[in-house]
Amino acid sequence: MLAGQGYMAPFGDSPTVGIGGITLGGGIGPLQRTVGLVSDNLIELEMVDAKG
Ligand SMILES: Cc1cc2nc3c(=O)[nH]c(=O)nc-3n(C[C@H](O)[C@H](O)[C@H](O)COP(=O)(O)OP(=O)(O)OC[C@H]3O[C@@H](n4cnc5c(N)ncnc54)[C@H](O)[C@@H]3O)c2cc1C
């Protein structure tokens, strides 16, 4: 998946953590000093507001 394409998402192994919240302020862990936070690795996103 991501790794096969040369990317990684530096978040942990907690299955209850969603990609939305962790992208806003997470990624703190063993890889933080090497690759930064999740937001540091965000290349692109698609915004969808309440009206779709
Ligand atoms: C068990 C556990 C382990 C954790 N371990 C780590 C860790 O190792 N390292 C680390 O950095 N953090 C860790 N966290 C913290 C985690 O990164 C934050 O709690 C994060 O905000 C969780 O995101 P969520 O989307 O699951 O939570 P939510 O409570 O759903 O969202 C958090 C905030 O982001 C907003 N949000 C969520 N999705 C979107 C979206 N799509 N668009 C706009 N706003 C959005 C919500 O409105 C809310 O304000 C851990 C949390 C838990 C519960």
For residue range 20-47, list pLDDT tens digits in order. Answer: 899 998 989 888 898 899 999 888 999 9
Mean pLDDT along residues 10-15 = 77
pLDDT for position 51 = 97
Q: In angstroms, what is the span from residue 12 Cα to ligand 1's centroid?
A: 12
Say whether pLDDT at 1 is over 90.
Answer: no
Please name the residue whose Cα sits nearest to atom 39 of ligand 1: 20
- Whether 29 is in the pocket of ligand 1, judged by its Cβ within 6 Å, is yes
Instruction: Say which residues have a Cβ less than 8 Å from residue 42's Cβ, sequence separation at least 6.
Output: 23
Residues 24, 11 contacting (CB under 8 angstroms): no
Q: Which pLDDT band, with edges at 50, 70 and 90, does 49 fall under?
A: very high
Pocket test residue of 17, 23, 32 for ligand 1, highest count of atoms within 8 A of CB: 17
pTM for the full predicted model: 0.84
Domain residue ranges in the chain: 3-41
